[in-house]
Chain A
Amino acid sequence: MRASALALFLLAVPVWGAAPKAAPPELISVAPIGGRPGASFEATLRGKNLEGVTRVWSPSEGLTAEVLGVESGKTDKDPDALKVRFHFTKALTVGAHDLRVITPQGLSNAVQMLAHEQPAVQESAEAHDLPRQAQKIEAWPAVVHGRIAEVGEVDFYSLQVKAGQELLFRTFSSAPLDPGVEIYELTGSWFDPDRPTRLAFADEPVEYPDEPVETVLRYRFDKAGEYLVRVNGFWGYGGADHVYALLIDPAPDGPVDWPPATPESLWTERTWRRPLDEDRMARLAGRTVAEAEPAKIQVLDADAEVTQLPVEPPKISGPTLVVGSIERAGDIDKVRFSVAEGDNLTFEIQTPEKSLPELNPLLRIVDDKGVEALTNVWSRVNANGNISKQIYPKTQYSFPRAGEFTLEIRDITAVYGGRGMDYKVLIRPFVPHLGEAHVGPDRVNLVAGKAQNLNVVIDQEEGYEGLATFSIEGLPPGVEALMGADVDPDSPPPFNEGKKERFTTKSQKATFVLMPAADAPLTPTPVAARIYARPAVGGKLGEKILAKQILMMVVADATESPETGVLTDGR
């Protein structure tokens, strides 16, 4: 398949013999944005520097593509368009798959391609901006593939539904598009017989940093009849890269998991959704050089205890996972615990279902006089000279005196509570360990004969005083990784950062110098190099910890003659 794809490419793309552009490729969008496993279909990838594309690449088994040709773009607004034919095997996993392209300059960024089990419906080429032009969707479940191709464009689809039918509408889109979905009934109005009445409107469930912009709308149709679904871009933005897939499906119960989420594979330390379970101590021990067996975690059902009020809040000792829920607005769950002078405790919070900003867990620890000793709120002075407050999923504290304390867990607002407002709070002693690793790029295009730095930073949690060793495995042939040094940029002096030590950590940084030999073979496909960290405490080494996997390619120096880089298939 790859050889034939290459052959096709060589036939279709005459620019290979010309001087290639110096920059690696960049992808912006793919349209249509997906298909069914087992399908084969043509699509267009838009982006920059696509003229030399040799391959469309995905790490997913069962997703291949052949290049059909490229149309060079003339401006930033009109970038290159690469025609490809995708082949999804029947075994291709349903979900979102990374898709990249390869040129002699290296590997592109990823765009996402969707494999969905529902039948695909392609948007009609006919205009369907107006209700009367709506494109009929005959059956569902279905995934409609469309594009808001122009500014101000909207796409109308019509559905004939039964009374009482409930449908889920969910989008999957490419980055520039921020889709919204509306449902209309063809009522006409006293003023305009063609005017439909809007029944529902939806945008993303919550607009919040790092949350997806995809629209989720469930709607129950009380009456049988024809209804319209309208897809639009926020504020009327649109263009060739504003591509979407719209799932229309009988609404399943429970949270919408479409496309299925990919589980996090790397360690995260300060995220609200990281798992806090009974094996947490053991997992932490795996990130240091453990001298003893990790302590066992007790589990306390806070809500069960709270129902026994007005008795005293339950008292805990030793590592405890408090599991509870903000059952109603204003609900406050409490537990008591005692500490000795100098005890170091970490308080970790997980929000398994709802999270910020719909659940904002405030954790307060008050002493026996009701005086606040600690919270998970970090107060500091921001760049405008004002106090800024934020809650954090992890807080660490050294108790200056012995005593009994009460831990309160509530939502910081007085209005949120109910279903999905679950939390887990782990109270445990400090476990000095290596925390989260931070490695910048997700791909590295190495130019043969030219060195490139790769910085690795790993956090030292809870007073970790050991060392971290770093190694890279699986480098492309002809590439060495040597230790180097980097220069930290100057940064402005901070404002009053408050009790920073409770919410942040120190870190260790290493710099690898990636050195491909001048004659290093060019890589036709990306190589997944793995970066490891390893704790070293008291002369003992701990287990290897995968810090990051990075795709690497070795490419020819574009400043030299194109003939110096010989493309091979690598097999």
Chain B
Amino acid sequence: MLVFAAVAAAADPAVVSLRIVPAESRLTGSGASQQLLVLGKTAEGAEIDVTGEASLVVADPAAAELREGARVFGTSDGATEVTASYAGLSSTAKLEISGSADHRPFSFARDVGGIFTRRGCNGKGCHGGVKGQAGFKLSDNGVHPHDDYKWIVEGGTFRVLTDEPLGDATPRINVDKPEASLLLQKAVMEIPHGGGPRFEKGSDDYNTILEWVREGAPYGEEGGSNEPKIVRLEAFPSGLVLDPGQKHRVLITAHYDDGRTEDFTHQVLATVHDTGIASMSSDGVIEARQPGETAVLVKAAGRSVRIGVGVVGAELENYPEISANNFIDEEVFAKLRRFNIAPSKLSSDEEFLRRVCLDLTGRLPPPERVKQFVADKSPDKREKVVDALLGSPEYVDYWTFRFADLYRVALFPVGINPKWTQAYYEWIRDAIDRDRPYDEVARERIAAQGYSPASRHYLPYLVIPPAENMMGEEMRVFLGRRFDCAQCHDHPYEEWTQDQFWGLTAFFGPMFKLGGNPSSVIFDFPDGKEIAADVPSPTPLGVFHPRTKEPVQPAFLDGRVVPYDQSEFPRRELAEWMTSHKFFAEATVNRIWSNFFGRGIVDPIDDFRSTNPPTHPELLAKLAKGFADQGYHLKPLMRTIVLSKTYQLSNIANESNAADKINYSHALPRALDAEILLDAIADVTGVAERFDVGTNRGDWKGGITPMGGRAVQLKEGDLYPTAFFDAYGRPNRFSVPERDTSPKLTQALHMLAGTTYNEKLWKPGARVYDLVEAGASDDAIIEELFLAAFTRSPTPAERKAIQAQIAATPTREQALQDLQWAIVSARELAENH
């Protein structure tokens, strides 16, 4: 999560050197200023903020002056220096001042738009929201100043997909009576304002706007093509690790496209994600509150930047020394060490075996295998079992199931044609079985055409969906990004713009289907032009920018345009671009990682953005690089993960890591998915489930899965309706599935009265029934059940309690049924831990 450009050590350390940031500043124009940051370096190498404690002096007071502590303003052209002194140390920074007498031309974008950003008026939650607020719309973070100007000066109510305003236009300013401008009256609450007061009457911001209106509300400096534009914001430091109570100032610098920079520290709006962990003042000082990690989002001038903040816990005595199995451990353990979190011990053999079996194959280890594994004394037995599992047919079943979820293999999303669904499923299964390079699979799906199995996913309900929907899903699945917000407006927190959204969408614009519903062949119009446009389409074909109404040409995120008439198949070029982009490998390894840890290094796994950064960026980068280097095969990636000590840590927390949920200091319990749980119950009881074909609507009834089949092998997400699946959150896969594994009342009811939990307990072929028939003792049955369900033997206390319960039950059959019911209903069975 953090980029540790600056690391603050414990409070009150001895400083051995001093420096001023920035070491050189160029102040251009009237009133230009630079916030300075004085950093002291400790003997341990950490840098702490001593700006508040240091004394600063300008060498030439005629050239510049210090205000508000360490903010230096240029007053006359020339060069000078600022010297900071602290604890007997000193450091000097150079200043160059130019244009100090030049009146800086007014710019609506900078001077008024900056106020909107700083005061939070144009945030997503206020007037910068998609539809604005109370009829008044501003572009989010001021990215469209011309639009903002129009809404203020001309008035009118904003509409999402058109430039045409709704209703009568009522200007937000009053040039004849500037003080009566709505813009000012609302902001100072002279008239009711849902957003509360934004500034005070007579404040600098109030006066700036008032003066602007008095001047006739000009747009001012045009900001045309020759005018430098801000291309990014930079925060220094980009990440911080602080002790509770410690403060640290950050500098925000705007970078212009002509290479110039400007201090923006005092012109930004900062939002702290978790204010319980840290806060940030309006002048850029972050204060740590309690241990944890959070992020600060800083916005200005249509740009944003994120600062990671970590607050460390108390230093641990006797921090354990742990060797690393691979780079995963090196990264994870290093961060745990920085945060004074001790990892848990290595898991027991039983704990490891259960976890790795469920994670690699979705299946509980059989009792005999548990006994063998525990008895095996070879040092590489974990490697051996991992390799056996990776080579098992159950691995193919399970990972086909996982990807069938992600790829939405279900009847209705794949053209309402059972054979298409089957072909799509088998295509995935073949890729898993052969461990095909994942980039190849992704390209095949993104650029699917014709009648290929992968092309069928572009025919939900037998129609080609809107191009923007297809684009959004492919980006989410393969790049882990959600671009949807940018459909109607520039993304509020990212650099994604509406133009980029529609540029990407245009790759999907020429898609069409040939033939009727039972025979649809997917193709893309060559050159993006419709073939046989003999009949005017009721809706225009192609992709049009919703605001400009102009047709859009395909363009990558980096702005490179792929004109339709210069590419044989633009969507194939998109597939190539996507799978060669680093986003692809990162998103894929993150998705796989989450299967083994219950959360992604970026979480949610398909919501990569600068404001949702990775908890372990270097680890993510190394995993992604390794994945790409070894040819995008999934098995080696999984092998690396499960053979790390990080994966093999126990679920038993210690004092330092009990609260940790994101740093992999110990294993966290994860609810089994509905299908996996059902198979687990079937395995424990020894009674397999068979599934009737059909939908909840009653279609396609009449078939049943073969004997020996498992829930994890079911192909379609919207078939085989059972109350169990509904209760335990099986998705219907109508959209990119997000499984809901949270506990529900229906689960409890199903445990009490459902067939799954109650009708597998006593019949020929059932595990316990057959054991009884074979003359097994109670103790042997208890042992077998525990091994089958929990991959462990019962504790003496458990054994004793169960035996007592059996003795107290009128019949042995009833007692053993009760025991089985208790075991299959146990949380320990229903979770991977």
Contacts and interface: CB of A to CB of B under 8 A. Distances in A.
B96 to A, nearest CB: 58
B521 interface: yes
Interface string A375-404: 101111110011111110000000000000
Contacts of B568: 330, 414
Contacts of B463: 386
A499 B534 contact: yes
Secondary structure at chain A's binding surface: helix, strand, loop or mixed?
A: loop
Contacts of B661: none
A198 B393 contact: yes
Contacts of B449: 413-416
Contact of A129 (B522, B569, B707): B707
A357 B450 contact: yes
B532 A389 contact: yes
B535 A412 contact: no
A153 interface: yes
Nearest to B707: A129
Nearest to B571: A414
Contacts of A533: none
B404 to A, nearest CB: 15
Interface stretch (B56-64, B509-517, B803-811): B509-517
Contact of A232 (B389, B419, B514, B706): B706
B450 A387 contact: no
B569 A414 contact: yes
A382 B521 CA distance: 16
B731 interface: no
Interface string B487-521: 00000000000000000000000001111101101
Interface in A348-378: 356-358, 360, 362, 364, 372, 375, 377-378
Interface string B621-641: 000000000000000000000
A196 B706 CA distance: 15
Contacts of A391: 514-515
B592 interface: no
B577 interface: no
B379 interface: no
Nearest to B518: A209
Contacts of A130: 707-708
Interface in A29-81: none
A192 B679 CA distance: 14
Of A206, A381, A412, most buried by chain B (CB within 10 Å of CB) is A412
Interface in A274-310: none
Contacts of A379: 532-535
A301 to B, nearest CB: 24
Given A357-B450, A358-B451, A151 B704 contact: yes
B535 A381 contact: yes
A413 B523 contact: yes
A189 interface: yes
A258 interface: no
Contacts of B451: 206, 208, 357-358
B705 interface: yes
A206 B522 CA distance: 15
Given A189-B393, A236-B704, A388 B516 contact: yes
A236 B703 contact: yes
A356 B519 contact: yes
A496 interface: yes
B303 to A, nearest CB: 39
Interface string A196-218: 11100101101111000000000
Nearest to B694: A235
Contacts of B87: none
Contacts of A388: 516
Given A330-B568, A413-B449, A415-B449, A191 B521 contact: no
Contact of B704 (A152, A358, A380, A415): A152
A153 B706 CA distance: 6
A273 B803 CA distance: 76
B450 A416 contact: yes
A556 to B, nearest CB: 38
A403 to B, nearest CB: 19
A201 B418 CA distance: 16
A237 interface: yes
A192 B389 CA distance: 12
Interface string B247-273: 000000000000000000000000000
A415 to B, nearest CB: 5
Nearest to B388: A190
Contacts of B518: 208-209
B191 interface: no
B705 A360 contact: no
Nearest to B426: A201
B419 A412 contact: no
A336 interface: no
Contacts of A377: 514, 531-532
Interface residues of A, number: 59
Contact of B419 (A203, A390, A498): A203
Interface string A447-484: 00000000000000000000000000000000000000
Interface string B387-410: 011001110100000000000000
Contacts of B512: 389
A389 B535 CA distance: 10
Interface string B417-459: 1111011001001000000000000000001011110000000
B237 interface: no
A154 interface: yes
Contacts of A197: 393
Contacts of B706: 129, 152-154, 232, 236
A201 B423 CA distance: 10
Contacts of B531: 362, 364, 372, 375, 377, 389, 412
Contacts of A357: 450-451, 515, 519, 521
A200 to B, nearest CB: 10
A450 B252 CA distance: 98
B389 A190 contact: yes
A211 to B, nearest CB: 10
B361 interface: yes
A297 B672 CA distance: 70
B419 A191 contact: no
A524 interface: no
B707 A152 contact: yes
A387 B514 contact: no
- The CB with the most chain B CB atoms within 10 A, among A189, A190, A330, A496, is that of A190
B142 interface: no
Interface string B664-708: 000000000000000000000000001001000000101111111
B40 interface: no
B454 to A, nearest CB: 11
Contacts of B693: 235-237
Given A191-B365, A191-B394, A330-B569, A360 B703 contact: no
A443 to B, nearest CB: 27
Contact of B537 (A330, A387, A499): A387
Nearest to A495: B535
B538 A381 contact: yes
Interface of A: 129-130, 151-154, 187, 189-192, 195-198, 201, 203-204, 206-209, 232-238, 330, 356-358, 360, 362, 364, 372, 375, 377-382, 385-391, 412-416, 496, 498-499
22 contacts: A130-B708, A151-B702, A154-B706, A187-B393, A190-B385, A190-B388, A201-B429, A207-B417, A232-B706, A236-B704, A236-B705, A330-B568, A358-B450, A360-B521, A372-B532, A375-B531, A377-B514, A377-B531, A412-B521, A414-B526, A415-B449, A496-B535
Interface of B: 361, 363, 365-366, 369, 385, 388-389, 392-394, 396, 417-420, 422-423, 426, 429, 447, 449-452, 463, 512-516, 518-519, 521-524, 526, 531-535, 537-538, 541, 568-569, 572, 690, 693, 700, 702-708
Given A237-B693, A237-B702, A389-B514, 7 more contacts: A190-B392, A203-B423, A234-B703, A236-B706, A360-B523, A388-B516, A413-B523
